[in-house]
Amino acid sequence: MKQIIVQKFGGTSVADTDKIKRVADAVIREKKLGNDVVVVVSAMGHTTDYLIKMAKDISPNPSAREMDMLLSTGEGVSIALLTMAIHAKDYDAVSLNAMQVGIMTESVHQKARIIDIKTERLRKNLKQGKIIVVAGFQGTTECGEITTLGRGGSDTSAVALAAALKASRCDIYTDVEGVYTTDPRVVPNATRLDKISYEEMLELARVGANVLHPRSVETAKQFNVPLRVRSTFNLDNLGTLIIGAKDMEIYQPVTGVAADLSQIRVVFCDVPDVPGNAARLFGALSDENISVDMIIQSYARKTTNTNDIAFTIHKDDYAKAKSIFEKIKNDLNARAVHIDEDIAKISIVGAGMVDRPGIAATMFETLAKLNINIKMISTSEIIISCLVEKEDAQKSVKALHKIFELESNEIADVKGDLPDLE
């Protein structure tokens, strides 16, 4: 039987018509190897950002349903253009949107999860020898509504398609050569990893290594889909392979360092120390579908019998969250709510830190030497994160990358704008 390969091309890979023609070459190259090829594409370049900007110019809080109607158009453009480019090179191809494929999601707008993918039409088209070009990032509900999967969601579309079709591999083509020990635009001598485990990649993706959408890695891990991150512009470089930790030897305690600038810290001050208050607070946020990341509850002060509850949320949820803070504050009988927007979450990740003491201490000492104040700390088995002032983000990443010996002798060849690190 033929192998099925899923290829995914991000926004930078299809940013203009010349690039789309190059993507067509990469697709045809895979097809010529004798494989069945399903391609997933994102919207061209900064299209999604531009669409969001237009919506925000019209309304500060646009309806989530209409946002999905709007944003899903971006991918609609790129699938049609890429299919035309493949036709122009005399290969048979067909574009399909999520509704035509049957990428079924839950009925949540803007961050829907995929629950099922119908494969009949895909299999039929593959059997006819066609290359299939599928719109990433979008889905549809039982009732025929259009949904989107959250920013960067095309990666997840690709991996979910690979899982549904039992593909041999899912190749995520992007503008970098693979997964690095940290963002090479911040640290030019970052090292490209040949392999990384799903577990480590998941943590890195969650804390702001912008290579892959976290849910795509989760899905790959769950269905054991071998994932490759590789460059659209250097097809001979195989990039980074992402596989199960059990298939790897782990030598170093830390694999990567990342800065997440997308969070906002919220503190409810002087919350009465009674049972049920934390449940009330986080229940109210979850009712609005707002995810919470770091959570710290302070030791209860004897004098007032209150404590502070601090947590972080994504800045995209801020407007929605803010509208219910006053009500939550009153329900909890808390004294005040503090918001801190200028923060960065700096994380070190490594499967090798399990059972190796001293890694956290080294991280804190490194930040202390730079006189960087830590506002919150969280840890789990293979990750340690510290919240710092946003202006300290770049310094922190550089110092941690160095202390954990992640530098390479080469300067990475990376294009693209520096992320918003001050």
Residues within the interface to ligand ASP (CB under 6 A): 10-11, 42-43, 48, 74, 136-137, 151-154
Asked if 74 interacts with Mg ion (CB under 5 A), we say no
Asked if 152 interacts with Mg ion (CB under 5 A), we say yes
Tell me the closest approach of the beta carbon of residue 157 to ligand ASP, in angstroms.
Answer: 8
Q: CA-CA distance, 130 to 244, in Å (whole number)? A: 32
Contacts of residue 88, Cβ cutoff 8 Å, sequence gap at least 6? 21, 24
Residue 74, binding choice from ligand ASP, Mg ion, none, Cβ under 5 to 8 Å by partner class:
ligand ASP
Count Cβ atoms below 10 Å from residue 326 Cβ, excluding itself: 10
Backbone angles phi, psi at 138, to 5 degrees: -115, 160
Residue 178, binding choice from ligand ASP, Mg ion, none, Cβ under 5 to 8 Å by partner class:
none
45 vs 152 by CB, closer to Mg ion: 152
8 vs 401 by CB, closer to ligand ASP: 8
152 vs 256 by CB, closer to ligand ASP: 152
| Residues 346/257, Cβ–Cβ less than 8 Å | yes
Tell me the closest approach of the beta carbon of residue 150 to Mg ion, in angstroms.
Answer: 11
Tell me the closest approach of the beta carbon of residue 110 to Mg ion, in angstroms.
Answer: 16
Residue 253, binding choice from ligand ASP, Mg ion, none, Cβ under 5 to 8 Å by partner class:
none
What would the x/- binding string for Mg ion be over residues 26 to 45, using CB under 5 A?
Answer: ----------------x---
Tell me the closest approach of the beta carbon of residue 43 to ligand ASP, in angstroms.
Answer: 4
Tell me the closest approach of the beta carbon of residue 11 to ligand ASP, in angstroms.
Answer: 5
Number of residues that bind Mg ion (CB under 5 A): 3
Helix (H) or strand (E) holding 286: helix 277-287
DSSP codes of every residue in 234-275? -TT---EEEE-GGGS----S--EEEEE--EEEEEEEEEE--T
Asked if 10 interacts with Mg ion (CB under 5 A), we say yes
Residue 43, binding choice from ligand ASP, Mg ion, none, Cβ under 5 to 8 Å by partner class:
ligand ASP
SS3 230: strand
Contacts of residue 70, Cβ cutoff 8 Å, sequence gap at least 6? 51, 54, 55
136 vs 214 by CB, closer to ligand ASP: 136
Tell me the closest approach of the beta carbon of residue 28 to ligand ASP, in angstroms.
Answer: 23
44 vs 376 by CB, closer to Mg ion: 44
Among candidate residues 182, 186, 214, the one with its CA nearest the CA of residue 198: 214
Asked if 150 interacts with Mg ion (CB under 5 A), we say no
* Maximum CA extent, the chain: 78
43 vs 126 by CB, closer to ligand ASP: 43
Residue 137, binding choice from ligand ASP, Mg ion, none, Cβ under 5 to 8 Å by partner class:
ligand ASP
Residue 48, binding choice from ligand ASP, Mg ion, none, Cβ under 5 to 8 Å by partner class:
ligand ASP
Q: CA-CA distance, 21 to 218, in Å (whole number)? A: 31
Q: CA-CA distance, 296 to 223, in Å (whole number)? A: 33
Q: CA-CA distance, 233 to 326, in Å (whole number)? A: 50
| Residues 349/378, Cβ–Cβ less than 8 Å | no
